[in-house]
Amino acid sequence: MEHADIIRFLATTHPYDGLERHDLKTVGAGLIRRDVVTGETIYSHDDPLDGVYLIEDGTVEITDASGALVSILGARNHFGERGLLRDGKAATNARAASDCVLHLFPAEAFLNAVKHFATFNRYFTRGGARGITQGGILTLHVADMLAHEPITCAPDLSIKDAARLMRDERISSLGIEENDQLIGILTVRDMNNKVLAEGLNPDLPVYTIMTRNPVTLDPSALGSDVMHMMIDHRIGHLPIVENGKFLGMITQTDLTRFLRLRTSDRRPVRQHHQRLGDKWERYKQPGLHQVRLQQSDHGR
């Protein structure tokens, strides 16, 4: 795989998709490709780890020290991070269940990335490394889906300055905070419907047009909860809040991206999960709901 191909692959893989372009290129340049054949042992329990593995193609079987199956991992999943972060030794066994293309993230570079990149720290230290397994996004915890630091503003910021902030951060929504508590959100839709369409003065404060007391979810909620909430309330932005503190925003675009990654793993999905996925696809179609993110939005 050429370097440009690696970058394209990483750009569609969580949590690399949360990196700035130059950081993504730096990380990609440091990965080491490893091709393994079916049945090959990648590492055994208690082995010193050279780094963390990312699966580009194929399937890896993870078992515990006694040989009991822990998980079957497919494309875009990581393994080895738990042991590396704990004591540098493998906490499980890893064996190729099929021919695989892997990328080794060398230990020193990986630990530096976890230390310096908030998106990596949040993903690998809050359980995101569990990966998108058999339940896919529907059983993924919301905390593991947050790829970006929350972007907020005060309620007295002008609408015009809020629009500039959203443009500069390349996001489609803001959390409105007062006294370190979320009191509302502001979205591109609010700008279009309440400012542009009505000719509202852009120098007014954002609290005049924000959505007050928005519906929220706790970080322990699941991807299925997000999908149900968005469909039931016909919204495209869902704030994740813990004890009133705004942790980040999950958007319709985030869910679509995760579902796309889930499909690429080519693993079976239970029937009720498939039904919810189909319902989500219908919900996204133009005309079925009012929340449509602009093409220029980047899902944040």
Query: Tell me, what CATH number does 41's domain have?
Result: 2.60.120.10
pLDDT per position in the chain (300 positions), as tens?
A: 567 889 999 998 888 988 889 999 999 999 999 999 999 999 999 999 999 999 999 999 998 888 887 778 888 889 999 899 989 999 899 999 999 999 999 999 999 999 998 888 878 875 444 444 444 566 677 877 776 778 999 999 999 999 999 998 888 999 999 999 999 999 998 999 999 888 999 999 999 999 998 999 988 888 878 888 888 888 889 999 988 889 999 988 777 766 655 544 444 334 444 445 555 555 555 444 433 333 333 344
Helix boundaries (H) for 75-173:
81-86, 107-116, 118-125, 159-169
Q: What is the DSSP letter of 91?
A: S
The answer to whether 41 touches 62, Cβ cutoff 8 Å, is no
Does residue 84 belong to any structural domain of this protein?
Answer: yes
Q: What does the pLDDT read at residue 130?
A: 45
Q: What does the pLDDT read at residue 45?
A: 94
Closest alpha carbon to 260 in 112, 150, 77, 136:
136
163 with 272, same domain: the answer is yes
Q: Domain range spanning residue 12?
A: 3-117
Domain count, the chain: 2
Does residue 30 belong to any structural domain of this protein?
Answer: yes
Q: What does the pLDDT read at residue 36?
A: 96
pTM for this one? 0.49
Directed axis angle between helix 252-264 and helix 271-284, to 10°? 130
101 with 181, same domain: the answer is no
Closest alpha carbon to 137 in 249, 217, 221:
221
Q: What six digits make up the tokens of 192?
A: 């279009």
Sign of CA dihedral 258, 80, 25, 267: negative
96 with 177, same domain: the answer is no
| Longest CA–CA separation in the chain, Å | 67
191 with 270, same domain: the answer is yes
- Find the CATH number of the domain harbouring 246: 3.10.580.10
